[in-house]
Amino acid sequence: MKQMCELSVGLYNGDFVGDTNVAIQAAVDKAASLGGGIVRLQPGRYTMLDSLHMRSNVTIIGTEDKTVLWKSPSTSSPVLYYLGYGHFDVSVKEPDKFPIGSGIYVYDSKTPGFKATVATVIWEKGNELGLSCMLNADVHPANDARAASVYPVVSGCHIKNASLRDIVIDGNSSENEYINGCRGGGVYLYQAHDIKLENVTVRNFNGDGISFQQCINTIVERCVCTDNTGHGLHPGSGSVGTIIRNCMFSGNGQDGIFYCLRVSYTLCENCVIKNNKKHGISIGHRDNNSILKGNNIVDNGGAGIYFRPDTLNFTGHHMLIDGNYLENNCRLEDDGEICFDTSANNVHIINNIIKPWTNIIKQSTDTIKQSTNTIEQSTRRKISAINI
């Protein structure tokens, strides 16, 4: 059997030496070129001038609590000329702000979310910057088109069978522009399958802590997403087979966990979800066939568990909410500990401890089954409640 390679990266010694993403990327790419392996990062702070791009069959392991990937301050410049979908370059007013090898985010006011482009600058000619991938949409100066040096600190796109472990990601949010979670996050995965994130801390990122889109069989275990300006965790866009276990999502500027769109067959188990500005867990369109079990959901600004409005009534079908502890949510918004703003079918709410019990529901209660919940009644909020 072929033996997998093992390489080391350090600030002062190792197979690859350096204090930026360049040394780490060289080691990861070397391991990938040999068919896969392990890259170990020694203690220290590594400045990220571009994303660390994960590769298939490569495991990246840091030194617990001591390996820090730090996002460098962002800069930005106006885009000079109209450019269409499919272009592999962009012209900016101040090209010197984007050295070759740096990460770049290209967008305008009409290209939010997936329409924005995240790339690496690969050449420069006058005001023109060459991009490592094509533009995802047209950008136009009339729509305030800009380029900014924001990007995921760790990125995994179109890969499989890879993992990231024992890493701290510091997003340096106070010195960075915001990036939309559909294209960024402290860790961002896109069409990446069989990926494991273990004991990864993402803090102070100006956007979502961890975001993954169109992914299969993602495992997020013993991870912490704290004090990010966006959501703590953002599974989205048809991701399936996700396991979220023994994690903490706290102090984030939006939801603790935001199930975005068509997220299904997911287990969220034994997590602490607290002190987030909006909802603890938010569930949306076609986010179905999932289990929320044994989680501690407390002190969030919105509902503990929130089923978002959906005009097609495809939100939150076939859900099991089992053995969770919910208390003192709705600090900023007058919702319920478990709040339905949509019609959801075949939802089972069992064995939970809920303090206090209040609930908004806009459907017949016949399809919501409840049993053996421990309820502390309260009149703190005058909201209609489901009878148990």
SS3 for 10?
Answer: strand
In this prediction, residue 385 carries a pLDDT of 33
First to last CA, the chain: 59
Burial-class residue 126 by CB neighbours within 10 Å (0-12, 13-18, 19+): exposed
Q: Looking at 58-72, 190-204, 334-348, which range is the least confident one?
A: 334-348
Residues 313-365 have pLDDT tens digits of: 788 899 999 999 999 999 887 678 999 888 888 999 999 999 865 554 444 44
Give every CB contact of residue 172 below 8 A, 6+ residues apart in sequence: 70, 71, 72, 73, 204
Residues 133-164 have pLDDT tens digits of: 999 999 999 999 999 999 999 999 999 999 99
Vertex 114: Cα angle to 108 and 120 (nearest 5): 75
Q: What does the DSSP 8-state code read for residue 32?
A: H
In this prediction, residue 335 carries a pLDDT of 73
